[in-house]
């Protein structure tokens, strides 16, 4: 890889792995099309003991966001409280009291899916549309996340790169670029339940979230982190996975693998070109422990976005059922 | 039932069906405790063809809310757009562009779970705690919805009261109070896959949402609606269901069954006393059609709340997998 | 005026009254440049008895907005309450308690100034800049309202067209287009204190707000209303006024004066071309009564916007001091 | 002062300077009642050259707030942009384009007035009301800031303690407690235009804001700062000033003057007991330079809050007119 020329390295991969038109001119789902009912039925068949694991970080004011690109942590406020109710302040009859609440948050503030309108390549969005025809101030008029409302349920596979590559700590160091070879050998090491193929949703654990919770958020949102190498683009394309998620802020390795200014180059390849749905800031800690204990790395994953009209992303509480 | 005395009618049922202490003094889950891993494994075993159905209404600015108790529809705004990206306004290198977004919404604005801190009875919250010790301006410090992050996955059962009681229209009229007898006979009519028992999540379709989408929102949020009768409190308790959801704004029949001012009397019994988690404003249309077509009314239901710290409710996109 | 050809009618006036370059290539204030310190000193000299009148409508959840272009009424929520404080829930020492609050609102939801970046003419903003160079998703990078932080203090003149043209009701009917002749004869009728000239801020009362408060909001936000005719563009330019505000939602007459689809044509002339700052949704009721009583229609007007960085408008509580 | 006993020190001053009932049982304005029309007329008479100075900090995402008590910096987002307009994305006729925007912010996030419901003393609010009767989750039902909509216009006096006590730097060190003696001698030093009396609004410049802008926000919001000593409570009461504002986050000295845990003790005396309206986070830099240059420290101050219904505070852009 030429570390001096991000534009060329990105461009070559964008061209090589571009899925534009693969699912028709009107497509709004990209690689989520790899999931079909049979795949979901197969995934449900993986459930054994019925253990349910939430993969969501807390949506909490004390989160990692520091204001980059106006991303704040969620602000949760109350419209009515038990204090008022107990004091009889609410005006309801027969002893009824109530509490309501409100949230304001960037859709990218915590555990999330990036929609297909989240990233553009030279002014083009997924499937070759002009970015300005897709996402205006009114939102993503074409590939809004609401279109995936029932789509993101499939077989999930955990690839615990943290434990595999760093068995002592379970955590990859910041800046570690996970390669396709790493992914393949992790699959081999974890065994048959880790095989990855068409329609799977791959969850890559780096250990970065564990470190952030232990040591404090620090620069979890936007700082150095382990993550996928730009060179995994081919693997992400060829495996025909439906989606991928990590326990980091940005999915790909940071700092990026270039010696000149670059920003999220792998995003630029996979979202607008491959049409891959990416999850970020997932909590894979309990899942990793569970998989290790059970000796199984596959499960039913139900991770539907909130169908927010025209949104380019969505908060999500993904559930792994084992 | 004495239609002149809501306080007595509510009080009698609250006392009769109160589950305080049933799961220990520290409990934060109420009837969700009826779901265990074996139940979830059994539910996964119900999946046949792998059909995935989203039960969420759109989270959309053109929603039903009109401002009652400061509940608005969601407001979705963009932080970055494709129009800017295409024009090169964003300052990113190598042709990258991006779009981010923000939402502000009441947690009770659309498809939702009511948390256990949502309703109080004479100043008491679930499990007998003082309301003001539970829900302050900081939120629900004790039974916040985040505690149910991995809990709400179980066998779901659709009871299509609309089609059962009104086969021609499929819609119950506003003000129709569904009784326990109605529920039982609907179960009988729908057949064995509709049996309701411990740990199930019951979805009651009235047809009210179908009517609202066809005729316009009107007073969908807070106006007259079909719904459960106060007299179903015993059935809701005795069946040991884990949760219940409807396609209406308020779960119970409106106007209420009293001739004097009353407000959501069944809520007052079931949330703080039974500890029952209630879902409202679900879209059960596609599910009803699917169940009718398949001749099966049971499925795996994955409906985890967003783990918003200290929240008294949560938006949710519930998935039925059949 | 050719009621079939809004584009031509707007274009002719835009060209005739365009002030681009008048205050230099870097200008961000437009006609607010007509106000200088001497003008402000003169305005302060108009104060007699010291009567202070607020010209702001309430910023209230029960406001006129109905969601057009995602404009909602303000949503005000509490972060801490007296109920909590009284109950000792807040954790402060020595008996201290506190209450904080939050607001979420469109900057155009109630009494406001439109900034110079609020309206564009064929893709051009004030002073001939390309709209996309001025207002991106980051806001108005060039003519943001914060630049007028200390500018909008001058002599104010109330022109009570409602009382002048409709002495019995004091209210112009919806759809009434106020002409320059109306403005001139109102000035004559009101007398010498109503003379309008360079640097003045003109407040036009139509009575529409009085009607809305008496009869209910109805379509106050965006419906039919009295207001300025497109033909007043020349008067607005030639008088060299600094700014103008009305008691209506949209400043100009609605429906507009064309028989083919048109939208706020006078805005298109005066904001991007004349560089005129417009105020909307002002409450001129108490001021009108006061002016009538005092027989004086001029006063010191202090109406500074909140200096919200890059905003295209601002809520404001304008104060008339007489 | 007994540095071990904040409760006693606060209590003694609360009792000594309590104004409860002074303006009647229904009062909602406190010391703002000291301003009358004659005072405002006198203030207008102070204007000489017509210099207008904004005393507001920028309302900016890059502000000082770090999340304490859920206070964030303002979040400003666009509903429509010039980029969209220029591209023709907006659907308006005849070449019209528009930009709208939205803000979400704590009312205490930047330049502000604290309303009378902002602070309580042992569960009591201004005028002796129970805190829980005044400020519920619905807001300040009794002394909401909207009641002061036209009230806060008066003679302003700048006391530049920074320049007076630290002529070389113009900045008081963090932790410096300004005493009544300091205030009096500053008045003497600044001369006759600095005399303070009934109905005046006193602006105390410490230089803390200048330091924050030069050195970075650091702990400007809630950290150590110069400010008024608890011992100034008598001066604040006896001078019969209408309001006071500073260029610091918290008005009073921080850390507080006790050796045991204490929090904003002077607030506890002056807001609920004296009924004094306090302004915080004002930008007094340009005003201080102007006053020094003109040799005059008095001016017309127009600083009306936004009339946000039931709010316990308000953002404000105060204007000094000299």
Residues B265-313: tens digit of each pLDDT: 999 999 999 999 999 999 999 999 999 999 999 999 999 999 999 999 9
The pLDDT value given to residue B246: 98
* Cα–Cα dist B305/B71, whole Å: 19
What is the complex's ipTM, to 2 decimals? 0.97
- Option in A79, A84, A137 nearest D81 (CB): A137
List of residues 6+ apart from D67 with CB closer than 8 A: A61, A62, A73
pLDDT score at A67 = 83
Q: What is the pLDDT of residue A296?
A: 98
pLDDT of residue B13: 98
Quote the mean pLDDT of chain D: 97
Is D38 close to C45, i.e. CB distance below 8 A? no
Order across the sheet with C243-246: list the strands. C52-54, C319-321, C298-302, C153-160, C201-205, C243-246, C277-280, C112-114, C313-315
The whole-angstrom separation of Cα C228 and Cα C10 is 14
Which pLDDT does position C196 carry in this prediction? Answer: 98
Which residue among A75, A104, A136 sits closest to D84, beta carbon to beta carbon? A136
**CA-CA distance, D270 to D256, in Å (whole number)?**
15
Average pLDDT over residues B254-258: 98
pLDDT digits (tens, 9 = 90+) for A22-57: 999 999 999 999 999 999 999 999 999 999 999 999
C75–A102: do the CB atoms touch at under 8 Å? yes
Average pLDDT over residues D102-114: 97
CB-based contact, A102 to chain C, within 8 Å: yes
**Residue D63 in this model has a pLDDT that exceeds 90:** yes
Which residues, in sequence order, are CB contacts of C73 under 8 Å at separation 6+?
Answer: B67, C60, C61, C62, C63, C64, C65, C105, C109, C110
Q: Is C102 on the interface with A (CB under 8 A)?
A: yes
Q: Which of A75, A80, A89 faces D70 most closely, judged by CB atoms?
A: A75
Residue B298 pLDDT: 98
Of B38, B79, B117, the CB nearest to A99: B117
C2 touches chain B (CB under 8 A): no
pLDDT(A70) > 90: no
Q: Give the pLDDT mean for C68-95.
A: 94
C287: its two tokens: 């001021």
Q: Say if residues D299 and D321 touch (Cβ distance below 8 Å).
A: yes
Q: Is B7 left (phi over 0), alpha (psi -120 to 50) or beta?
A: alpha
Q: Indicate which of D83, D85, D87 best probes the interface with B, i.e. most B CBs within 10 Å of its own CB.
A: D83
CA distance D94 to chain A (A): 20
Closest CA to D105 of D283, D301, D286, D281: D281
Cα separation, C115 vs C149, in Å, equals 11
The percentage of chain D sitting over the pLDDT mark of 90, rounded to a whole number, equals 98
A192-208: per-residue pLDDT in tens?
999 999 999 999 999 99
Q: Could you give the C-alpha distances from D310 to B282, C87, C255, D109, in angstroms and in order?
A: 34, 21, 35, 17
Partners of D89 on chain A (C-beta within 8 Å) are 132, 136-137
Buried-exposed string D167-193: b where 16+ CB fall within 10 A, e elsewhere: eeebbbebebbbbbebbeebbeebeeb
pLDDT at residue B22 tops 90:
yes
Residue B68 has pLDDT above 90, yes or no: no
Q: What are the structural domains, with CATH classification, of chain D?
A: 6-69+106-321 (3.50.30.50), 76-103 (no CATH)
- Asked whether the predicted pLDDT for residue C68 surpasses 90, the reply is no
Residue B204 pLDDT:
98
* pLDDT beyond 90 at A190: yes
Residues C186-226 pLDDT 10s? 999 999 999 999 999 999 999 999 999 999 999 999 999 99
Candidate from B84, B104, B132 with C-beta closest to C136: B84
pLDDT value of residue B150 = 98
- Does the CB of B22 have a partner CB in chain D at under 8 Å? no
Name which of A77, A81, A89 is nearest C102 (Cβ-Cβ).
A77
What's the pLDDT score for residue B57?
98
Residue among C148, C278, C317, C319 with most chain D CBs within 10 A, to mutate: C317
For residues B95 and A268, the answer to whether their CB atoms sit within 8 Å is yes
Cβ neighbors of A212 (< 8 A, separation 6 or more) are A64, A218, A220
Cβ–Cβ below 8 Å for A77 and C75:
no
DSSP B58: P
Q: What is the pLDDT of residue A68?
A: 84
What is the model's pLDDT at position B174? Answer: 98
Cβ-Cβ contacts under 8 Å, A104 against chain C? 104
pLDDT reported for residue C77: 96
**B72 to C72: CB separation less than 8 angstroms, yes or no:** yes
- Phi, psi (deg, nearest 5) at residue C310: 70, 15
How many Cβ atoms sit within 10 Å of the Cβ of residue B71? 21
- pLDDT tens-digit readout, A164-188: 999 999 999 999 999 999 999 999 9
- For tokens 């900081």, name the residue: B138
User: What does the DSSP 8-state code read for residue C254?
Assistant: B
CA angle C58, C246, C185 (to 5 degrees): 145
Residue B246 in contact with residue B280, Cβ under 8 Å? yes
Q: What is the pLDDT of residue B67?
A: 84
Which residues of chain C lie closer than 8 angstroms to A77, CB-CB? 77-79, 102
Q: What tens digit of pLDDT does each residue of A255-282 get? A: 999 999 999 999 999 999 999 999 999 9
Which of C159, C152, C77, C150 is CA-nearest to residue C114? C152
pLDDT digits (tens, 9 = 90+) for D184-217: 999 999 999 999 999 999 999 999 999 999 999 9
**Order of strands across the sheet that contains D129-130:** C96-98, D119-121, D124-125, D129-130
The predicted structure's pLDDT at residue C217 = 97
DSSP designation for D25 = T
Report the share of chain A in percent with pLDDT over 90. Answer: 98
Which two structure tokens, joined as six digits, stand for B276? 């029952």
Q: What is the pTM of this model?
A: 0.96
- Mean pLDDT, to the nearest integer, of D232-254? 98
The verdict on a CB contact (< 8 Å) between D102 and B77 is: yes
Is the minimum CB–CB distance between C3 and chain B shorter than 8 Å? no
Q: Quick check: D67 and A78 CB within 8 A? A: no
Give the minimum alpha-carbon distance from B78 to chain D in angstroms, rounded to a whole number: 7
Closest by alpha carbon to C19, among C241, C180, C230? C241
pLDDT score for A322: 98
Contact A137 D104 (CB under 8 A): no
Output the average pLDDT for chain C: 97
CB atoms within 10 A of CB A157: 24
Number of CB pairs, chain A paired with chain C, less than 8 A apart = 27
Tokens for A256, please give them. 């990026």
- The Cα-based distances of B212 to A111, B220, B248, B315 in angstroms read 33, 6, 10, 20
D 112-151 residues with CB below 8 A of B?
Answer: 137
Give contacts of B270 with chain A, Cβ < 8 Å. none
Do A75 and D79 count as a contact with CB atoms less than 8 A apart?
A: no
Q: Given an 8 Å threshold on Cβ–Cβ distance, is C81 in contact with A77?
A: no
∠ Cα B68 B175 B278 (to 5°):
60
The residue to which tokens 């949230």 are assigned: A103
Q: Is-cis flag, bond preceding C214, omega within 30? A: no
pLDDT digits 0-9 by tens, C97-144 = 999 999 999 999 999 999 999 999 999 999 999 999 999 999 999 999
Chain B positions touching C83 (Cβ under 8 A) are 132
D61 touching chain B per CB within 8 A: no
């Amino acid at each position: 890889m030429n570390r001096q020329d991000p534009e060329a390295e990105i461009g070559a991969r964008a061209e090589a792995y571009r899925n534009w038109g693969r699912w028709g001119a009107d497509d709004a789902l990209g690689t989520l099309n790899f999931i079909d009912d049979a795949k979901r039925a197969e995934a449900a068949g993986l459930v054994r003991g019925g253990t349910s694991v939430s993969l969501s970080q807390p949506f909490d004011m004390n989160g990692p966001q520091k204001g980059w690109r106006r991303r704040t942590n969620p602000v949760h406020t109350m419209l009515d409280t038990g204090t008022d109710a107990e004091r009889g302040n609410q005006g309801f009859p027969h002893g009824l009291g109530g509490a309501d609440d409100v949230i304001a948050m960037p859709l990218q503030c915590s555990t999330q899916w990036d929609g297909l309108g989240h990233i553009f390549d030279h002014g083009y969005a997924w499937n070759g549309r002009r970015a300005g025809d897709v996402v205006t101030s009114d939102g993503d008029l074409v590939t809004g996340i609401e279109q995936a409302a029932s789509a993101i349920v499939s077989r999930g596979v955990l690839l615990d790169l943290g434990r595999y590559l760093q068995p002592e700590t379970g955590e990859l160091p910041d800046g570690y670029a996970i390669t396709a070879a790493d992914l393949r050998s992790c699959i081999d090491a974890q065994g048959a339940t880790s095989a990855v193929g068409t329609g799977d949703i791959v969850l890559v654990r780096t250990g970065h979230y564990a470190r952030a919770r232990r040591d404090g958020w620090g620069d979890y949102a936007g700082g150095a982190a382990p993550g996928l190498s730009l060179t995994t683009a081919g693997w992400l394309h060829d495996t025909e996975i439906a989606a991928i998620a990590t326990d980091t802020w940005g999915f790909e390795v940071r700092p990026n693998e270039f010696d000149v200014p670059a920003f999220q180059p792998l995003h630029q390849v996979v979202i607008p070109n491959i049409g891959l749905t990416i999850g970020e800031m997932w909590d894979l800690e309990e899942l990793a422990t569970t998989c290790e204990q059970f000796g199984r790395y596959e499960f039913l994953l139900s991770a539907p976005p909130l169908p927010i009209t025209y949104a380019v992303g969505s908060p999500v509480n993904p559930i792994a059922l084992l």
